[in-house]
Structure 1
């Protein structure tokens, strides 16, 4: 049989070994928890960075879209203004042409009327009717 001292010594060694094992397991657990916490922090940081990048891209796309809309509206307004100016110019040109045509037709009508009167007088003179008109005009 083992002596009392050997049993005591074996128990003490066993106790120390168990304590060392507990400390080692505790240290490993602490390190595992620290690694887990670090991994979660890194995953959260990556998630936050991804969200920031996505939001920045969304904002840039929105700004680009808004700028394109504004440019399109400016182009539309400019085209409408140009079309309005061209329409007004065409209207003025048409009115001027109408006025010129009316004046031309009036002048032509007066010329035709004058020519017809001249022809009538020439026929009267040729037929000898023009003298009676002078005579009749003097009596009135």
Structure 2
């Protein structure tokens, strides 16, 4: 491949990468704007409602994390189920 062809190919690759990066940035901006709108709408609906939603979401996340920890403990033989069975 000649030097000119290599330069053309490199420039073309750079152009594609730059275009893809700009697409990702735009997508991230759109996602951020949508999230901001959702938060704004929730706050306009009333702090009590949004507070309840956030509390429920937080509780779900805590329960999900605790379930994952318990699953790992049970897999490793360290869970409460094994301790209770050994004590009986």
TM-score between the two structures when normalised by the length of structure 1:
0.37
How far apart are residue 91 of structure 1 and its match?
0.9
* Distance in 1 (alpha carbons) for counterparts of 2:40 and 2:14: 38
Normalized per residue, the structure richer in helix is 1
**Aligned residue pairs: how many?**
58
The structure with the largest alpha-carbon Rg is 1
* Distance in 2 (alpha carbons) for counterparts of 1:92 and 1:118: 39
* Distance in 1 (alpha carbons) for counterparts of 2:58 and 2:7: 57
Show structure 1 runs of 4+ deviating over 6 A: none
In structure 1, list runs of 5 or more residues that go unmatched: 1-80
In structure 2, list runs of 5 or more residues that go unmatched: 61-88
TM-score between the two structures when normalised by the length of structure 2:
0.56
Q: Which has the higher contact order (CA 8 A, sep 6+)?
A: 2
- The residue number in structure 1 matching 2:5 is 87
* Distance in 1 (alpha carbons) for counterparts of 2:39 and 2:10: 43
